[in-house]
Structure 1
Amino acid sequence: MPSSQVAAYGTWKSPITSDLIVTGTIGLSQAALDGEDIYWLELRPTEAGRTVLVRRTPDGQTSDVTPAPFNVRTRVHEYGGGAYVVHQGTVYFSHFADQRLYRQTLGSEPQALTPEGKWRYANGVVDASRQRFICVREDHTAGEQEPVNTIISLSLEAGQEPKILVTGNDFYSSPRLSPDGSHLAWLTWNHPNMPWDGTELWVAAFNPDGSLAESEKVAGSIAESIFQPEWSPSGILHFISDRSGWWNLYRWQNGQIEALCDRAAEFGEPQWVFGQSTYGFDTSTGSEQIICTYVEKGTTHLARLNPTTQELQPITIPYTVVRGLQVAAGQAVFLTGSPTESLAIARLDLVTGETSVLQRSSHVTVDPGYLSEPQAIEFPTENGLTAYAFFYPPKNQDYQAPGGEKPPLLVKSHGGPTAGTSTLLSLSIQYWTSRGIAVLDVDYGGSTGYGRAYRERLKGQWGIVDVDDCVNGARFLAEQGLADGDRLVIDGGSAGGYTTLCALVFRDVFKAGASYYGVSDLEALARDTHKFESRYLDGLIGPYPERQDLYQARSPVHFCDQLSCPVIFFQGLEDKIVPPSQAEAMVNVLKSKGLPVAYIAFEGEQHGFRKAENIKRSLDGELYFYSRVFGFELADAVEPVAIANL
């Protein structure tokens, strides 16, 4: 092997290019099992971000189910999820362009089940005995008023009026039919709660006419979060609750709730989208077993839980991330990956333990000599507490830095803010580390994966705790000699963009930053956002307008005079969650102040970028921006960014 070249951090030539990332990558989500067939969704940046339903048959053949231009995506809650159901070879899905529900038998064209109008549908289940579809509907027909969410039923044949089964609360999710079709379970919650704050699990029997009889609350409250109700094959209702301080598994029978696995681990996750699943039932051993995933200190584990003995037996797989677990007799399908393997759809034979990959999000292979593996770190933060992160040191087998030089550090603040990082291979992170820029992916207070108390550190403290943890993580690495304290930068999207802007405005640790559709004006967000998050800030900041003072005091746009470093903004012009006006207001203030600032806006993009050319432009644009700010030469030519006041 030739000896490595000596070159400054940031100037290293990397095989992990933006073209490689976008042309070789698809998004994968929502696996499903239907008999011996396996289905999943593929988001394809090269098809303008279209999401396609794919089917794999037992002989290993894969084919697209939904033809162009159909785009399998729902806008319920704006974030969607649960956009399709497959039942005995027939698919029911939401088409993004018109938000109507469609029915498609294999080999035929999709047929609309619902009329044109301002309705959206998600999270459905087929009620075969009554020949109908039960799902969550979001009704936008009231114009400027808040949309109305209900659980409805509609005939499997087009042209019949839907019937409302459950109504009266602000939100619903997870309608689940008992195996014999006699009962329906569902989750519900009301403003100002988010589903990870407090939800309720209800159940009701069906009347002979298909309506629901009097319902009964099983579990949940404004301070207890219930996740993923599921009926076992024998008809016992299971669910996940964080009543112990951790999302653990429970079951309900004979009117009693029984804990199945009391553990300081998270078996559930924040319900940002519909259709999330962390457990299912396996009957291949002759008794009902639960196959489940759980997270301890940011790392995912797969296990088999015996509900009778409550023994939790680890299942060894060559991966560190498991999402969207679906289970049938003898097999499990899930999204998975590791620090060296990108996201994939995998199948696990529960009898033999054999794992096989069915589809990869990227068929690009990168020599391990260019891959930085995450190191889990804990670091001290405010009030004597500990915070968590994954540190990625620079790595490129072709280069080493000059003696004594320390690398620039990019701190990444995730969205949500109730979300979490993972150890899954991210070529977008490796894009930086392979060029000689270290990355710190922070699980700040408020993140998921560390119990309810850690999540609630952010209660009333958004813009403070998250910022402190990002700042303290960067300082920790600089003090350890692992990063250059004079070249610390931060980026983030959405809520992570807000954390980024707060860190740049209210602290003086970072020398530059990048905001991806980040919040700069909390009042504007409180007044102008969608229903699902319209009261989210009550818990993160305080009630509005009663605590208008806090909203103003924590809005970066009002304190641009305190900002003294360059910032680049990336924004989708059709973003309904964080409208472009928020980024533009901040850009205008920075321009007038004479600070280096860049603004890249994308037509046709919403909250998060889906088109290949825009993902590429964002990555390269951010790198170019830092190269100009810190004065290092890039190894490859990238499209320049117009930077005002440079």
Structure 2
Amino acid sequence: MKLTLAEAAAPTDTLAELQCDAQAVYWLARCPNTGEMQLWQWLADDSAPPHCLVEEAVGSRVNQYGGGSHVPLLGGIAWVRQRDQALMYRSPNGTAQCWQQHAQRAYGGLCTDPERERVIAIEEDAHGQRLVAVSSQGRQVIHEGGDFYGAPVISDDGSYLAWVSWSLPHMPWQRSQLNTATLTSHGQLENDQQRDLGAAVSQPQFAPHNALICMSDHAGWWQPWQVNLTTPRCLGSTPVDHITTPWQLGEHQHAWRDDRQLYCQLRQGAAQLYRRRSGREEALLDEPGRVASIVVAEHGDYAIVQSAGAGAQLMRFDEHRSRRCLAGQPPLALTTATAQWLEAPVGHAGETVHGFFYPTRSDDDAPLIVRVHGGPTAATYPVYDPLVAYWQQQGFHVLDINPRGSGNFGRRYRECLAGRWGISDTEDVVALVRAACQRYPIAPQGCFIRGQSAGGFTALNALAASRLFAAATSLYGVTDALTLAAQTHRFESGYLGWLIGDATQLAQRSPAFQVAHCTRPLKALFIQGGKDAVVVPEQTHAMARHIEQHGGEAQTLLFDNERHGIRHPHARQTMLAREAAFYRQCLGSQGCD
């Protein structure tokens, strides 16, 4: 099957934010025409197919990365309208109401409080964040004074509220605290307590009998801990991460009921989904891949998953591992090769960098595209990506790299980047590409590197540092860390100091500085959203001018209506066509179909 440009440009994150109640499951699905997220529902055990509940774009902009943008309540559904961040409610009879709207506020991390017929949400404006309760009767601030709030959750009996908090300069995966409080009959908080385990906590959940379970990495890995005990107790001692890095609000990657638990474990960058019943553990996926979201209900166990052979799918798991795909892509009949694990020694003795290599089907030397994810604490997975398959069909090898600092490999690997961004990540890319060149038939002068957001920073630095790379593509990438530190949004405003250091180091580690000290002209393609509030467009324009002023070649593709990430299908197709043309130009039309 030869992929068309439209198929190749399709995003991989087409399903997200799984929720459930006693009657149904709910999720977000990306509209193929607009690229925006819409709210869908499937009534459990109904013969009817899933249907779209809310056609207008749904999504939170809290912390710019959002999450937790919808939640079922009293047979209806509450959601955040993306365009104006209004908090909406649709009653069981289908009537939509606006519960809260303010021009300068954003909402996210929604959780349901059915006892009081309201929603708990994180509210953000220019003055900071707070926890609020919102209903048809209005808005009530229930907790304020914290720097950042995340993951609010209410116990099944409505008596307790738990949430995560953290303060600048930390990010939520570096140092965060678990908070609990008692909910009065009037919905106010009492007996507010905070627990600091010395590292980071994430995704608190109330199990039966009000047992409070959260993921903590104070022992080196994201593992489940029951924390409302005199001494916290680890419920999953396997030394692997059980969740991904918490960039968004409202993530659910573990679930607990009386008779069963669902959770995932990540090994070599791939997630397997497990179910435990009566003390017995069973793997639910044929092969490890990616587990984006999990919920458990009386009517079934559900997860949004990706695999090497299929894009995002919403799966229902019944007894004896029987399963049904409710939404998403069917398995694909592809002739392209799947991921091969690749690693190389770096840094101190015993340290390695690793990634996934996707060979093209050619016995001759072929060009290579190296892809660096964002974050830099995000991660890449060995799952189907139509863009990888497209490049393979076009005659390119593809290498997806998880440099030191990536998530899913434990706290130590993630913190290897402390004070070394712009050094370790560049070393890792060069080391893994050299390992690939020794093992696979890669064309000399045919290595390209592309990165998005933080990955663009690494891609441009690697281009300047090593003659291995013929050119780079930066997708809304960081180019000037010193300027970014002054311009970026509050959520990440302290992050660069941890990653790099003081003002002098921020300047010297940046691609703008590296290009100025490079002794050869460079080639780069820049792709940018005009409404990006994370990496502002001026960064990209300034970097393009910088390369040209130093004798290089810079091309820029700007999408006026896009933000941090290119979403609209037409824009994504235009982006891919331009990138393919750029590589062909660099290769002199050799090695591409």
Structures share a fold, TM > 0.5? yes
Hey, what does 2:187 align to over in structure 1? 210
2:291 maps to 322
Match of 2:47 among 56, 59, 62: 59
Structure 1 segment 612-623 matched on structure 2, within 5 A? 612-623=569-580
Structure 1 residue 593 displacement after superposition = 3.2
% of aligned pairs identical?
28
TM-superposed CA distance for 1:480, in Å, is 2.3
Q: Distance in 2 between matches of 1:73 and 1:117?
A: 16
Question: Which structure shows the bigger proportion of residues in strand conformation?
Answer: 2
Residue in 2 aligned with 1:190? Answer: 167
Q: 1:232 corresponds to which residue?
A: 207
Q: 2: CA distance between counterparts of 1:325 and 1:439?
A: 30
For 1:297, the equivalent position in structure 2 comes to 268
Superposed structure 1 runs of 4+ greater than 4 Å apart: 22-26, 633-636
Match of 1:584 in 2: 541
Give the 3-state SS of the residue equivalent to 2:483 in structure 1.
helix
Deviations 1:87-125 (A, max 9, x none): 242111111111110011245342110133311111122
The whole-number CA distance in structure 1 between the counterparts of 2:13 and 2:173 is 29
TM-score of the superposition, structure 2-length normalised? 0.95
Q: Say yes or no: does 1:431 pair with 2:417.
A: no
Q: Using the alignment, how far apart are the partners of 1:88 and 1:211 within structure 2?
A: 20
Distance apart, 1:596 and its partner CA: 2.4
Q: Is the 8 A contact 1:459 1:540 kept in 2?
A: yes
Report 1:332-347 matches (<5 A).
Answer: 332-347=301-316
1:358 aligns with 2:299: no
Match of 1:71 in 2: 57
2:155 to 169, 174, 178: 178
Aligned counterpart, 1:560? 515
User: Normalised by the size of structure 1, how large is the TM-score?
Assistant: 0.87
Instruction: Name 2:136's counterpart in structure 1.
Output: 157
CA distance in 2, matches of 1:171, 1:50: 27
Secondary structure of the equivalent of 1:359? strand
CA distance in 2, matches of 1:211, 1:106: 27
Q: Residue by residue, what CA displacement relative to the aligned partner does 1:456-506 show, whole Å, maximum 9, x if unpaired? A: 110111111111111111111112243234211100100011111111123
Write the mapping of 1:381-530 to structure 2, written as runs, cut at 5 A.
Answer: 381-384=346-349, 385-395=351-361, 400-401=362-363, 405-530=364-489
Report the counterpart of residue 506 of structure 2 in structure 1: 551
Contact 1:301 1:314 (8 Å CA) reproduced: no
3-state DSSP class of the match of 1:74?
Answer: coil
For the Cα contact (< 8 Å) 1:281–1:329, is it kept in 2?
A: no
The 3-state SS of whatever aligns with 2:370 is strand
Q: Secondary structure at the match of 1:629?
A: helix
**Which of 1 and 2 has greater Rg?**
1
- The Cα RMSD (Å) is 2.0
- The question of whether the paired residues in 2 share the 8 Å contact of 1:35 and 1:88 is answered with no
Could you say if the C-alpha distance between residues 251 and 609 of structure 1 is closer, same or farther in structure 2, counting changes exceeding 3 Å?
Answer: same
What CA deviation, in whole Å up to 9, does each residue of 1:520-567 have, x standing for no partner?
00011100011111111121112xxxx111011111113323153311
| Residue 85, structure 1, aligned to residue 91, structure 2 | no
* Distance (Å, rounded) in 1 between the aligned partners of 2:314 and 2:82: 23
Q: Which residue of 1 aligns with 2:227?
A: 252
Deviation of 1:332 after TM superposition, in Å, equals: 1.5
Matched, 1:28 2:15: yes
Q: Is the 8 A contact 2:8 2:389 kept in 1?
A: no
Residue in 1 that maps onto 2:101: 115
Distance of aligned partners of 1:277 and 1:115 in 2 relative to their CA distance in 1, 3 Å threshold: closer
> Which residue number corresponds to residue 339 of structure 2?
374
In the alignment, the residues of structure 1 paired with residue 473 and residue 293 of structure 2 have an alpha-carbon distance, to the nearest angstrom, of: 31
Question: Cα–Cα, structure 1 residues 45 and 524, in superposed 2: closer, same or farther, change >3 Å?
Answer: farther
Query: What residue ranges of structure 1 are gaps of 5+ in the alignment?
Result: 1-13, 141-146, 637-646
Question: How far apart are the structure 1 equivalents of 2:488 and 2:93?
Answer: 40
Between the aligned partners of 1:612 and 1:556, the Cα distance in structure 2 is 30
> 2:177–2:200: 8 Å Cα contact kept in structure 1?
yes
1:471 aligned counterpart, secondary structure: helix
Secondary structure of the residue aligned to 1:54 is strand
**Cα distance, 1:24 vs. partner?**
9.7
- State the 1:353 CA deviation: 1.5
3-state SS of 2:209 partner: coil
Determine if contact 1:282/1:330 at 8 Å carries over to the other structure: no
**2:426 counterpart SS class:** helix
2:12 and 2:312 in contact (8 A); partners too: no
For residues 207 and 367 of structure 1, do their structure 2 counterparts lie closer, same or farther at Cα, with a shift above 3 Å needed? closer
Change (3 A) 1:45 1:478: same
Check 1:611–1:236 CA distance in 2 against 1; reply closer, same or farther (3 A cut): same
Partners of 1:482 and 1:36 in 2: CA distance? 54
2 CA distance for matches of 1:552 and 1:312?
54
Alpha-carbon spacing, 1:248–1:228, altered in 2? closer, same or farther (3 Å): same
1:319·1:337 contact (CA, 8 Å) conserved in 2?
no
Q: Deviations over 1:435-455 (max 9, x none)?
A: 110011001100111111000
Gaps of 5+ in 2: none
Q: CA deviation at 1:312?
A: 6.5
